[in-house]
Structure 1
Amino acid sequence: MLFELMAPFYDWFIKVANVDHSRRMPEWLAPVEGMEVLDLGGGTGVNARTLAGAGARVTVVDASRAMLDRAAAKKVPARLIKSDAVKLPLPGESFDIVLISDAWHHFRNQTGVVHEVARVLRPGGRLYIIDFDPQKRKTRFLALLEKLVAEPSNFTVPGNLVEMLRQAGIKGDFHYLTANQFIYKGVNRPPAWPAPEHNGCGQGTTAGW
């Protein structure tokens, strides 16, 4: 419901909140030219437009019809699909890159999302997650604000996220972009990486790249 209401001014909001990293996405996700990119929770297509401009073939999946309608109205050069992130209407091993930017903490079933990401990523494909560390004061304030507007958040400690993804066969690490925002980069089933485990999530590290 929140994003249905925010859609008309979402692009303005992320600029004011200083969380619009779209201009740097081609650099952070390089190489992107010729790559099949899934922008999961991609909303109004802010990142998709920049990545497409850098030569990527982008698919945006979002649960909000209003956000996708906004992307369509802006003529974002991407395939736009309305879908829940835990049941993607996409074939397996069909993407070179999956991007989840400022959307991870909105997913209720994060384990299900991880399994879907691992399914649609090609072997050696790359996953990027940009989100906020709940251990930081600014993130706790953000979580309170989102709760007040009926959008409960599910922020994940970065080290725990690393371990959760490792158990799904995605090996990676993270570093901080700001005092409370981090970027995770992982590789799906890299060479010589053991098969995914299926036990519970453990405690990860907080080492940078």
Structure 2
Amino acid sequence: MIPFNHLGWIFKYIGPLIYPHTIRESLCSFLIPLSRSASVLDLGAGTGVMSEFAYACREDLQFTAVDPAEGMLKFSAEYVQTHKANAEALPFDTSSFEAILIGEALHHFQDVEKSLQEIVRVLDDEGRLFIYDFDSSTFMGNTLCRVEKILGEPGNFFAPEVLKQRLESHGFSVSISQFGYRYTIAAQLL
């Protein structure tokens, strides 16, 4: 298993460099319809890089970060409220967030189905979900999946269409944007 709890300092400085500009643009477009001061959850946040990118687009939003590794969370920006928790058991009331962001983290979740149930529970009516991950149907995505599994990670990578179907079964409308071996999903509860 990757020792994320001890790697926060690396991810804080290297993490932002590996997010392509196109992914950041996609995130900014996703955030436009959110209401002023909307509550946003950065799930599997690590050092909060998705919150930082989102903050650069919308400073008015209220950011909360969740990650099981406190050693990652301690590198989050001061405007982010942090909580040590797993995606499968979120410490929030029902309908607590207008949006959830998941950047390069879904593949680390132990139980994706339970995590999706929790996501639906904590999103408010017509809540929005943004996911950025690697496409397992591509050579590079498949390679990354294999490496993660060798390192003891769950390696729950999905082809975009497969993840789209799973999200639709939980009541989301889903739009996919492909960026080579990476993709984003912008979804909204119906």
Q: Shorter-normalised TM-score: what interval?
A: 0.7 to 0.9
Q: Secondary structure at the match of 1:70?
A: coil
Match of 1:62 among 31, 50, 67: 67
Structure 2: tracts of 5 or more residues without a match: none
1:162 partnered with 2:167: no
TM-score, normalised via structure 2 length: 0.88
Shift in alpha-carbon separation, 1:31–1:76, aligned structure 2, 3 A: farther
Which residue is equivalent to 2:127? 125
Larger radius of gyration: 1
Q: Does 1:7 align with 2:8?
A: yes
- Whether the 8 Å CA contact 1:40–1:85 is kept in 2: the answer is yes
Instruction: Give the CA deviation at 1:23.
Output: 4.9
Whether the 8 Å CA contact 1:38–1:59 is kept in 2: the answer is yes
Matches for 1:140-159 after TM superposition, within 5 Å: 140-159=142-161
Structure 1 position 147, deviation (Å): 3.0
Matching residue within 81, 84, 87 for 2:86: 84
* Aligned length, in residue pairs: 184
Amino acid at match of 2:117: H
Secondary structure at 1:174 match in 2? strand
Could you tell me how far 1:111 is from its partner in structure 2? 0.3
Query: Percent identity over the alignment?
Result: 29
8 A Cα contact 1:85 1:113, kept in partner: yes
State the partner residue of 1:34.
37
TM-score by length of 1: 0.80
Alpha-carbon RMSD? 1.9
Equivalent-residue separation in structure 1 for 2:177 and 2:16 (angstroms): 22
State the structure with bigger RCO (CA 8 A, min sep 6), 1 or 2.
Answer: 2
Task: Provide, for residues 123-157 of structure 1, a one-character-per-residue CA deviation record: whole Å limited to 9, x for no partner.
Answer: 11111111111010011221233234333411012
CA displacement at 1:40 relative to structure 2:
0.4
